[in-house]
């Protein structure tokens, strides 16, 4: 990976974190898709400077994983709540039909 590609991957990672903070998951997914091939092209041998950038990306990746997990948990909770409300409404309506 050239230093230019690594720099671009770093910039994309920073923007990805900001997108997640803003709740823009569609944009975050687009950034992750663009960033992935850059990260996959990492070579085994890296300069000390490049390794420092890679470590920063790795630290941001931990943050990204945490934010994604929290967002998933919030979506699941919202979905569960919605299902319970629909079930309660269905039960209310069926009770009203009995009368």
Q: Residue 54 has what pLDDT?
A: 94
The pLDDT, as a whole number, for residue 96 is 74
Residue 1: per-residue pLDDT: 52
| Dihedral of the alpha carbons of 36, 55, 65, 35, in degrees to the nearest 10 | -20
Q: How many CB atoms are closer than 10 A to CB 88?
A: 10
Percent of residues, the chain, with pLDDT higher than 70 = 96
Tokens 């992750």 label which residue?
A: 32
pTM to 2 decimal places: 0.75
* Alpha-carbon gap, residue 75 to 77, rounded angstroms: 5
* Res 98 pLDDT > 80: no
Give me the percent of the chain exceeding a pLDDT of 90. 76
Average pLDDT, the chain: 91
pLDDT tens sequence across 50-91: 999 999 999 999 999 999 899 899 999 999 999 999 999 999
Mean pLDDT of all residues in 21-45: 92
């Amino acid at each position: 990976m050239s230093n230019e590609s690594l720099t671009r991957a770093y910039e994309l990672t920073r923007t990805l974190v900001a997108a997640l903070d803003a709740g823009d998951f569609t944009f975050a997914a687009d950034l992750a898709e663009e960033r992935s091939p850059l990260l996959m092209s990492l070579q085994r041998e890296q300069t000390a400077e490049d390794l420092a950038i890679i470590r920063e990306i790795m630290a941001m990746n931990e943050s990204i994983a945490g934010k994604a997990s929290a967002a998933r948990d919030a979506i699941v909770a919202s979905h569960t709540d919605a299902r319970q409300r629909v079930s309660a409404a269905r039960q209310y309506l069926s009770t009203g039909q009995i009368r």
